[in-house]
Structure 1
Amino acid sequence: MSSAEHEPTSLPALTAARIAQRLDARGSVYGTDKDGDLVGRWDGHPFWFITLGQSKEYLQVRGRWARQVPGTEFGNVLLGANAWSETMVWPKVFVRIEAEQVAVYTEHTVDYEHGVTDEQLDLHLTIGIASALRFFAQLDERYPEAVPTVPVERPADPPAAPIAYHDPARPTLD
């Protein structure tokens, strides 16, 4: 092998604009929240697309279960999150109490310090959303009586009709 085969290639940097371009290419419905993060809803669950780190080199896809159960269910939901995490690679799941209700979040974070291709961004978005939706579906099954939460920061200026895009992590308006 020659040394040229081991030289790093220059990949485009991770930026919020590139994330938005990939969401646009999917036909996703999203907006920007008060912190400047991209946010949208898939199957009614809010998802944030956050860049973190000193140079904004980390991409985190964070989802929140759009339902709530009483704080007394905290232990049961936590056990379910732990069971998921024992067998699944993605997403990271955490549970906490917010206003005496159980809040469930998912996160899929990757370091793109050396840049990222469009294909890698697409894969990251798909994994972050689709794996979270699978976990949220399990919660919905376990808690069919759970009350949907009030929408968290609805995207600005959504299109008049839902996008007909057949991704397993399909965008929705509510």
Structure 2
Amino acid sequence: MSLERVEESLGRLGYAFVEDEEHPDVLRARFDDYRFQFMLTGDEHSVMQTRGRWNHTVDVSRKVEMVKLCNEWNMNRIWPKVYVRRESEGLLGVYGELASDFRSGALDDQIDRSINCGLSTVIAFFHSLEERLGAELDELDD
């Protein structure tokens, strides 16, 4: 497994991406206006991680509510893993990620499917969150 193979897969799938100059082991892209990154982790860099960040920020005063929404998702689904992370003194970010272990190797088609699965499930979570919050979305980024 290598970042070059992830780049090739993104190209095969027709997805635009950029390399991160500060973090050469990360590829960045936007899908449905959500920021995503693709990276290899693990001892042997054999775990491909697809991580997306919701395009809204949340005031820290709503942390319990957001954690409950994430926990509900995590209890009812296998993937993606979703969570809330403090990004500054008063703001939270909401993330979703899918990790695929390719320690035993991977066919191109497996990498493609992992990327598509990560993107579609993380975006489904973001859409679900937006549906649950409804009109409250307008209050989030103030």
TM-score w.r.t. structure 1 length? Answer: 0.74
SS in 2 for 1:38: strand
Q: Which has the higher contact order (CA 8 A, sep 6+)?
A: 1
Q: CA deviation at 1:144?
A: 2.2
**Higher radius of gyration, 1 or 2:** 1
Question: Which residue number in structure 2 is paired with residue 41 of structure 1?
Answer: 30
Q: CA deviation at 1:81?
A: 0.3
Q: For 1:21-170, what aligned pairs fall within 5 Å after superposition? A: 21-33=8-20, 34-36=22-24, 37-99=26-88, 100-141=90-131, 142=133, 143-145=136-138, 146-147=140-141
Question: Which residue number in structure 2 is paired with residue 15 of structure 1?
Answer: 2
* Pairwise CA RMSD: 1.4
**Structure with the larger helix share:** 2
Q: Percent of counterpart pairs with the same letter?
A: 28
Q: CA deviation at 1:140?
A: 2.2
Q: Deviations over 1:23-74 (max 9, x none)?
A: 0111111101120111101111111111012221111111111111211111
Q: Please identify runs of 4+ aligned residues in structure 1 that moved more than 4 A.
A: none
What residue ranges of structure 1 are gaps of 5+ in the alignment? 1-13, 149-174
CA distance in 2, matches of 1:97, 1:55: 29
CA distance in 1, matches of 2:12, 2:98: 20
Letter in 1 for 2:71: N
What residue ranges of structure 2 are gaps of 5+ in the alignment? none
SS in 1 for 2:95: strand
Contact 1:50 1:59 in 2 (8 A): yes
- Of the structure 1 ranges 24-33 and 136-145, higher mean CA displacement relative to structure 2 is found in 136-145
Q: Deviations over 1:1-37 (max 9, x none)?
A: xxxxxxxxxxxxx111111111011111110112011
